[in-house]
Amino acid sequence: MELPFGTISITQDSRRLIDQALDSGRVSNGKYVRQFEEDFASLTGTKEAVALSSGTDADALALAVLYDFGAERGDEIIIPALSFVATGNSVLQAGFTPVFVDVERNTLNIDPALIENKITQRTRAIMPVHLMGKPAEMDTINEIAKRHGLFVIEDAAEAHGAVYKGRNVGTIGDMAAYSLYLAHIITTIEGGVVTTDREDFADVLRSLRCHGRACKCKVCVVNTSSGYCKKRFAQGRDIRFIFERIGYSCKMNEIEAAVGIGSLRMYDRIIGKRRHNLITMTERLAEFDEYITTIHEEEYETMGPHALPMIVREDAPFCRDELTDYLDKNGIDTRDLFASMPTQCPGFSFLGHKLGEFPQAEYIGDNGLHIGVHQNLSDDHIDYFIDMVAKFIRRRT
C-alpha cells in the first residue's frame, strides 16, 4: 500500500470552465478569477479576497500593502522561527527585516510570551503562522499588536477551515495570506489569495499584483468582457501605464481559477474527509506517545486538516531520519517538519543568528516530520500507517 503526501481533485466543473476559457481566448486574469475571489471571500467570511500566483506572493503582497500605511523599507516584521521557508522569504522579498521568535513545541506556533521583547520602534507587523492548520494564539497576539500599534497579518497557508474561538482563521487579523498549492485543501494548482475586510487594503493589493499600476478596480471591464473603461483616460493618460507604487507581477490566471472554483464546490466533502483522517490519525498515534508526540485540538478551536505532524521525543530509541527512512521504504510519503529559518536554513545566515537561539524551533527542525491526511486516503490507509509505525517501534525497543 502507498500513502502519497498530497493529491489534487480537478472536477468536471473545473474542466468545463477550463474549456470555456480556452475557447474564449481570454486566459489571463478575468471573470473566473473574480468568481473565485468572490467564492473564497464568502467561504472565509471576509469582505475582500485578492487572488495571486502563489502563497508566497500572498504573504509578500500583504506585507507590501503596509508601505501605503506608513511602513518604510527595512522596517521589521515579527514572525515565528519555525515555518515553511516562504514565510521568511516573503518578508525579505517585500523589503522588510524578519525578526524571529521561537515557537511552542506543543502547538508548533509562535510563542506569544516571547513576542513583546522583540518589538522595537521599527516593528510594523506581527505575522503569526497557523502551522499545520493549528490556530495560533490570536487573542494574545492581537492584544500585543493593539498596545504597540502594529498590524497583524495571518499566514494561513495551511489553515483552510481552521476556527479559533468561533472565528474563522483568516478573519482575525488585518489581512490573511493563504496558499492554494496543489497539496492543500483548496487548490488552484499553484496560487495564493489574501483576504481582508478593508477595501483600501484590497485596492492596494490589486495594484501590487500588477506592477503597482493605478488600475485597481475590483471588476475590470477590460479583462472580464473587453468592455469600454471610462476610467482609462480620466487622469489624462492611460491609467494602465500609471504606476503608483513598486509592484509585482503575480496575477492568477483563468485556468488556475477554474480549478479553484471546482475545489471550492467540493470544499465540504474534501474538508470533512480530511478532518476525519486527521482526527483518527491523531487519536491512534496516542498509542506511541512515549516516543512520538503531535499537536492536539483544543475545545475552543478547529484545526485545519492540512497534514499530520509528528515529533520524535528526546528519549526515543530512534531518530527522525530513521523513522522517515522506514516509512518511505514502506510507501508512506513523508516531509520534514520544516526548520528554524534563521539558524537551520543557510539562506538566512547573512542575518547573523547562531544555532541555539531558537531551541524549540531547532528541535522540531531536527526531529519533526509530517504526512498527508488528504481526501484520497481511506481507513485502510490509516490502518496501514499505524501498523507500520508499530512495527518500526517494536523493532527499535
Determine contact, residues 79/127, Cβ cutoff 8 Å. Answer: yes
48, 195 Cβ separation under 8 angstroms: yes
Determine the pLDDT at residue 232: 72
- Alpha carbon distance 155, 139 (integer Å): 16
114 contacts: CB under 8 Å, gap ≥ 6: 101, 102
Rounded CA-CA distance 10/134 in Å is: 26
State which fold the 267-396 domain adopts: Aspartate Aminotransferase, domain 1 (3.90.1150)
CB 251, CB 29: distance < 8 Å: yes
Look up cell 516573503; give the residue. Answer: 90
> Domain boundaries in the chain?
12-265, 267-396
What is the C-alpha R_g of the chain? Answer: 22
Per-residue confidence (pLDDT) for residue 287, from 0 to 100: 96
Q: What was the pLDDT predicted at 223? A: 62
270 within 8 A of 372, measured Cβ to Cβ: no
Residue ranges in the chain modelled with pLDDT below 70? 217, 220-227, 229
pLDDT of residue 49: 98
Residue pair 85/344 in contact by the 8 Å Cβ criterion = no
Q: Which residue is it, cell 472565528?
A: 167
Quote the pLDDT of residue 97: 98
For every residue of 123-174, DSSP letters joined together read EEEE--B-GGGPPP-HHHHHHHHHHHT-EEEEE-TT-TT-EETTEETTSSSS
pLDDT at 26: 84
Distance CA 170, CA 175 (A): 7
12-265 classified as CATH 3.40.630.40: no
Q: What is the pLDDT of residues 278-320, one digit of tens each?
A: 999 999 999 999 999 999 999 999 999 999 999 999 999 999 9
In this predicted structure, what is the pLDDT of residue 240? 79
Q: How far apart are CA 281 and CA 207, in angstroms?
A: 43
